[in-house]
Amino acid sequence: MDQHSFYLASDIDYIIDRFRTYISFLNKNWNNITGRPVVVVVLRSDLIDIDPIPKNVIQTLKKLKTGYTNGVRVQMGKLEDFINTSCVTSLDFVFREDDDEDPEDKLMDLLQSSSDFNQISNFLSHQNIDYRYQKRYRIKKLAQIRGAVKRSYSYSHHASDSSVAQNILNSNNIDDQDDQTDTNVLNHIRADEHTLSTSNRRDNNLLRDKEVHDIIALLPHASTIQDQADILHYLCMNKGIEFEFEHNGHHVTVRDLIQELYNRACKQRVWWCVRHCAGMLRMRNESIAQSLIAILAQQKQLTIGLPPTQREYVLTSPMTVEQLYNTIVSATGNDPTMVMLTQEIFVFLHTFINTEPQLFAGMIRIRVALIVQVMLGELKRTLQSSDEDTTDHLLNLSPHEIKCLLHIILSGKEFGITEHSTKPAPELADLPKQERDMRIIRNEIKEASARKLSVHLNWTDHPSEEEDDDIGKHGQWIRRRRLDGALNRVPVRFYGQVWQTLEKCKGIKIADYILYNSLTQEMTQEEIKFALRVEEALNRVPFTEYRQLIVEACVIFTSLALGDAR
């Protein structure tokens, strides 16, 4: 895994989790093959050069040393110790016979380019600061740009680039005021709902050269990652990522600075910034096409984009990485962060459908955007936070934590009802709100992931009165309907029962969509095309909990139509 091609390699918890999954996969599938499998693990210094060393790393190394991990017999040692007994194959796809270049020279060039890439530039450091700009002027300029990243999220309100740019142009006509007035302007802009519309990006005539120079001059004064990201996002959206200018005595492009900020954010584990910079750099996970194929092979479909807009795309056939990436960009409205988060979910769904296919029982169409909405809803319900804070909390989660949260949603485990959320620990009281909320979320994810029980789909089995009171107390029935509705999950043999019901009536109307009796003459009850027609009708319902209520109503009507004694 290479962090420079995609940032999942920067999360040590995800790497260890992937390593365990891979070991289990080899244990199940390494059959009738000569030689033993050799797994090479590269632990880079930036992953473990942390004080203290992550517990996951220590625990995994201890288990490997004992000879067992996840119930699999393993042996840890140097690569040279395993060569004689390992499985050896030729990597013809790396070095072709018709390639005139010497393989050793080609390998050395590859290693050298990787080494050069790892040398982090230092263009954003505080050197050669231009103090010609007065403090009040800098605050006023920075205030017009601050929050640009947050306003670019596709879950926020959008406005055109020209509205924000016009504010900057008009700021020159405002007389300088005292520091208190500048602070008020800064607070006002922070709360402003205007955003940079990515659909009308790169209008090079939007800002005058002087204005661009003034914005670039703010970079040395931007001491935080948030301010640097806002400035670079604004330059990228308005002047393009290849826009070149002079900064700290060097000719650099916006891409160079975003790459530097990306490397720094990876090292500091600032995940919202990592995702946003990766989105602006148009990074692609090369395995998303394989993920789509694996999901389609299980007779599932994927949708990306939020309903009921026209940007919801249904993926029913394999695509190349380039085609799939462009589709994701179109479906998310060019939101860089959502493009990255969608790719993460693709990779995690691929893992789950291979290792735990039972999680997808009763699902035909997986709607990625609705899964993200459910994630936001779970965090908001747990912390009782605002929409903006909830989005920040979600994007601040590491890839491994996003994977765990996705697993919790797919498995229907209880989330956000432990004492961590209802009664936060006393030691968290003195922490800033953002850090306290993130601690609570991480504790909740850890406890929910370890919990064995999950919400089952057998609606004929009712909990005991004591359990029912507890579930009702926490509002878990509406949560369950929202989860199942967002996942398009239905009971076993649901579509076949709807087909049998259609045989006994003229039609079923769901949200102005009518399933006519004639469908039973055109399709069989087990046919996937019929199930998709029923899904199309159910997806006309905009609210997931109401969609699930309609599913429950259909189950009841089916029981009546078929003369079920229940």
What is residue 136's predicted lDDT score, i.e. its pLDDT? 53
What is residue 199's predicted lDDT score, i.e. its pLDDT? 36
Give yes or no for a contact between 145 and 234, defined as CB atoms under 8 angstroms apart.
yes
Q: How far apart (Å, rounded) are the C-alpha atoms in residues 243 and 262?
A: 18
Q: Based on the domain organization, do 294 and 424 belong to the same domain?
A: yes
Give yes or no for a contact between 288 and 325, defined as CB atoms under 8 angstroms apart.
yes
Structural domain ending residue among the three candidates 95, 121, 145: 95
What is residue 169's predicted lDDT score, i.e. its pLDDT? 41
What is residue 164's predicted lDDT score, i.e. its pLDDT? 37
What is residue 284's predicted lDDT score, i.e. its pLDDT? 92
Q: Which of 226, 231, 230, 146 is closest to 434 using CA atoms?
A: 226
Coil, strand or helix: which one is 363? strand
What is residue 12's predicted lDDT score, i.e. its pLDDT? 85
What is residue 315's predicted lDDT score, i.e. its pLDDT? 92
The upper half-sphere exposure of residue 447, i.e. CA atoms within 13 Å in the direction of its Cβ, equals 14
Q: Based on the domain organization, do 160 and 248 belong to the same domain?
A: yes
Question: What are 17's two structure tokens?
Answer: 């989790």
Q: Based on the domain organization, do 63 and 165 belong to the same domain?
A: no
Q: Based on the domain organization, do 262 and 302 belong to the same domain?
A: no
In a domain, 464, yes or no: no
In a domain, 233, yes or no: yes
Q: Which of 152, 485, 158, 481 is closest to 307 using CA atoms?
A: 485
Note the helical H segments in 67-126.
79-82, 103-118
In a domain, 209, yes or no: yes
Give yes or no for a contact between 258 and 281, defined as CB atoms under 8 angstroms apart.
yes
In a domain, 491, yes or no: yes
Coil, strand or helix: which one is 462? coil
Q: Based on the domain organization, do 448 and 486 belong to the same domain?
A: no
> Using alpha carbons only, how large is the chain's radius of gyration in Å?
27
Query: Domain total for the chain?
Result: 4
Quick check: pTM over 0.75?
A: yes
Give yes or no for a contact between 202 and 237, defined as CB atoms under 8 angstroms apart.
yes
In one-letter notation, the amino acid at residue 475 is G
Q: pLDDT per residue over 274-302, tens digit each?
A: 999 999 999 999 899 999 999 999 989 89
Q: How far apart (Å, rounded) are the C-alpha atoms in residues 533 and 498?
A: 11
Q: Based on the domain organization, do 262 and 146 belong to the same domain?
A: yes
Q: Based on the domain organization, do 193 and 227 belong to the same domain?
A: yes
- Residues 224, 226, 229, 235, CA torsion sign: negative
Question: 315 phi and psi, to 5 degrees?
Answer: -100, 110
Structural domain ending residue among the three candidates 47, 66, 95: 95
Which residues lie below 8 Å from residue 471, measured CB to CB, with a gap of 6+? 463, 477
* Residue ranges of the chain whose pLDDT lies below 70: 1-3, 46-48, 51, 90-144, 154-210, 307-310, 415-430, 451-475, 564-566
Question: What are 200's two structure tokens?
Answer: 């009308």
DSSP secondary structure code for residue 518 in this structure: T
Domain hosting residue 503, numbered range: 469-566
In a domain, 428, yes or no: yes
Chain CA centroid to CA 459, Å: 31
What is residue 416's predicted lDDT score, i.e. its pLDDT? 61
Q: Based on the domain organization, do 300 and 446 belong to the same domain?
A: yes
Give yes or no for a contact between 508 and 515, defined as CB atoms under 8 angstroms apart.
yes
In a domain, 492, yes or no: yes
Question: 84 phi and psi, to 5 degrees?
Answer: -65, -30
Q: Based on the domain organization, do 242 and 344 belong to the same domain?
A: no
Q: How many residues does the chain have?
A: 566
Q: Which of 363, 359, 371 is closest to 495 using CA atoms?
A: 363
Structural domain ending residue among the three candidates 45, 77, 95: 95
Q: Based on the domain organization, do 315 and 354 belong to the same domain?
A: yes
Q: pLDDT per residue over 316-351, tens digit each?
A: 999 999 999 999 998 888 889 999 999 999 999 999
In one-letter notation, the amino acid at residue 210 is K
Q: Based on the domain organization, do 243 and 259 belong to the same domain?
A: yes
What is residue 138's predicted lDDT score, i.e. its pLDDT? 55
In a domain, 256, yes or no: yes
In a domain, 513, yes or no: yes
- Give the 3-state DSSP-derived string for 144-194, with helices as H, strands as E and coil as C: HHCCHHHHCCCCCCCCCHHHHHHHHHHHCCCCCCCHHHHHHHHHHHHHCCC
Give yes or no for a contact between 499 and 525, defined as CB atoms under 8 angstroms apart.
yes
Q: How far apart (Å, rounded) are the C-alpha atoms in residues 556 and 566?
A: 9
Q: Based on the domain organization, do 450 and 309 belong to the same domain?
A: yes
